[in-house]
Amino acid sequence: MDHSWISPVFWIWFWIWIWTGFSSAEEEVLMNTKLETSDLRWTIYPSSDPEWEEMSGLDEEGNSVRTFQICPMDTSVSHWLRTRFIPLRGATQVYVEIRFTVMECSAMPSSFRSCKETFNLLYYQSDEDTASSTHPAWMENPYSKVDTVAADFLLRRGGEKKSNVKTVRVGPLSKKGFYLAFQAQGACMALLSVRVFFKKCPSVTRSFSSFPETLPHSLVQQAEGVCVPNSAPTDQAPPTMFCGEDGQWVGPPSSSCVCKPGFEPLDSDRCRACGSGQYKVSIGGSLCRVCPDNSNTHSPGSSVCVCRPGFHRAASDLPDSPCTRPPSAPRSIISQINDTVVTLEWSEPLDRGGRSDLSYSVECVRCRGSSCVPCTDSVTYRPGQVGVVGRRVIIRGLLPHTTYTFSVIAQNGVSAVSHTSPASSSVNITTSRDVAVPVSGIRRTKASESSVSISWTIPSQTQHSILDYQLRYSLMDQDDGWQYVSSKSSSVVLSDLSRASQYQVQVRARTSAGYGHFSPAASISTLPDDEEPPSRLLLTGVLVAIGLLILIAVGIVAVFCFRRSSRRRDPDPDKSSQFLMGQGMKVYIDPFTYEDPNELVREFAKEIDVSFVKIEEVIGAGEFGEVCRGRLRVPGKKENYVAIKTLKAGYTDKQRRDFLSEASIMGQFQHPNIIHLEGVITASCPVMILTEYMENGALDSFLRLNDGQFTPIQLVGMLRGIASGMKYLSEMSYVHRDLAARNILVNSNLVCKVSDFGLSRFLTENSSDPTYTSSLGGKIPIRWTAPEAIAFRKFTSASDVWSYGIVMWEVMSFGERPYWDMSNQDVINAIEQDYRLPPPPECPASLHQLMLDCWQKERSSRPRFCAIVSALDRLIRNPASLKITGRISDGTSHPLLDQRPPPSLSHCSSVSDWLRIIKMERYEDNFLQAGFTSIQLVSHISTEDLLRIGVTLAGHQKKILSSVQMLRVLPY
Ligand code: AMP
Report the chain (972 residues): mean pLDDT per 10 consecutive residues: 40 30 61 88 89 80 84 81 95 92 84 83 96 93 94 84 89 94 92 93 90 84 92 88 86 87 90 95 93 93 94 92 93 78 86 93 88 87 92 87 89 90 85 68 90 87 70 81 81 89 88 70 82 49 68 60 37 31 58 74 89 92 89 89 92 86 92 95 92 96 88 93 96 93 94 82 37 45 92 91 98 93 89 92 93 95 96 90 77 75 72 85 87 86 87 81 79 53
> In terms of DSSP H, where are the helices of 706-823?
712-731, 787-792, 797-812
In angstroms, what is the span from residue 689 Cα to ligand 1's centroid? 11
In angstroms, what is the span from residue 620 Cα to ligand 1's centroid? 6
Q: What is d(CA 31, CA 36) in angstroms, rounded to the nearest whole number? A: 9
331-430, CATH topology level: Immunoglobulin-like (2.60.40)
For position 464, what pLDDT does the model report? 63
689 lines ligand 1 (CB under 6 A): no
Whether 15 and 7 have beta carbons less than 8 Å apart is answered as: no
* Homologous superfamily, domain 204-259: ephrin a2 ectodomain (2.60.40.1770)
Q: What is d(CA 691, CA 630) in angstroms, rounded to the nearest whole number? A: 10
* CATH number 3.30.200.20 is the correct assignment for the domain at 591-692: yes
Whether 816 and 810 have beta carbons less than 8 Å apart is answered as: yes
Two domains, one topology: 591-692 and 699-896: no
Q: What is d(CA 39, CA 33) in angstroms, rounded to the nearest whole number? A: 10
Q: Which residue's alpha carbon is at the smallest distance from atom 10 of ligand 1? A: 698
How many other CB atoms sit within 10 Å of the CB of residue 829?
12
Measured in whole angstroms, the distance separating CA 767 from the mean position of its chain's CA atoms is 61
Encode 41-53: b = buried (16+ Cβ within 10 Å), e = exposed: ebbbbeeeebbbb
Q: Which value, in Å, is the radius of gyration of the alpha carbons in the chain?
A: 56
Give residues with Cβ within 8 angstroms of 36, minimum separation 6.
65, 66
In angstroms, what is the span from residue 756 Cα to ligand 1's centroid? 8
- Helix, strand or coil, per DSSP, at residue 968: helix
705 lines ligand 1 (CB under 6 A): no
Strands 772-773 and 794-795, by their bridges, are antiparallel
How many other CB atoms sit within 10 Å of the CB of residue 797?
21
CATH of domain 903-968: 1.10.150.50
For position 866, what pLDDT does the model report? 95
Strands 640-646 and 688-692, by their bridges, are antiparallel
Query: In 3D, which of 774, 817, 776 has the Cα closest to residue 793?
Result: 774
745 lines ligand 1 (CB under 6 A): yes
| In the chain, where the domains are located | 7-199, 204-259, 331-430, 440-525, 591-692, 699-896, 903-968
For position 513, what pLDDT does the model report? 57
For position 5, what pLDDT does the model report? 40
678 lines ligand 1 (CB under 6 A): no
For position 572, what pLDDT does the model report? 31
The atom of ligand 1 lying closest to the CA of 621 is 6
Active site residues: 738
674 lines ligand 1 (CB under 6 A): no
For position 58, what pLDDT does the model report? 67
Q: What is d(CA 628, CA 647) in angstroms, rounded to the nearest whole number? A: 12
Measured in whole angstroms, the distance separating CA 474 from the mean position of its chain's CA atoms is 64
CATH of domain 699-896: 1.10.510.10
For position 14, what pLDDT does the model report? 32
Q: What is the DSSP letter of 868?
A: H
Query: Does the predicted model carry a pTM greater than 0.75?
Result: no
Amino acid at 871: A
Strands 452-457 and 440-447, by their bridges, are antiparallel
Angle at 810 between CA 716 and CA 690, to 5 degrees: 85
* Homologous superfamily, domain 440-525: Immunoglobulins (2.60.40.10)
CATH architecture type of domain 7-199: Sandwich (2.60)
628 lines ligand 1 (CB under 6 A): no
Q: Which residues are annotated as a binding site?
A: 619-627, 645
Q: Which residues are annotated as a binding site for ATP?
A: 619-627, 645
In angstroms, what is the span from residue 743 Cα to ligand 1's centroid? 8
Give the residue, out of 745, 749, 759, with the most ligand 1 atoms within 8 A of its beta carbon, to mutate for a pocket test.
745
For position 435, what pLDDT does the model report? 57
For position 910, what pLDDT does the model report? 87
Full strand arrangement of the beta sheet holding 380-382 = 331-338, 341-347, 392-396, 380-382
For position 458, what pLDDT does the model report? 84
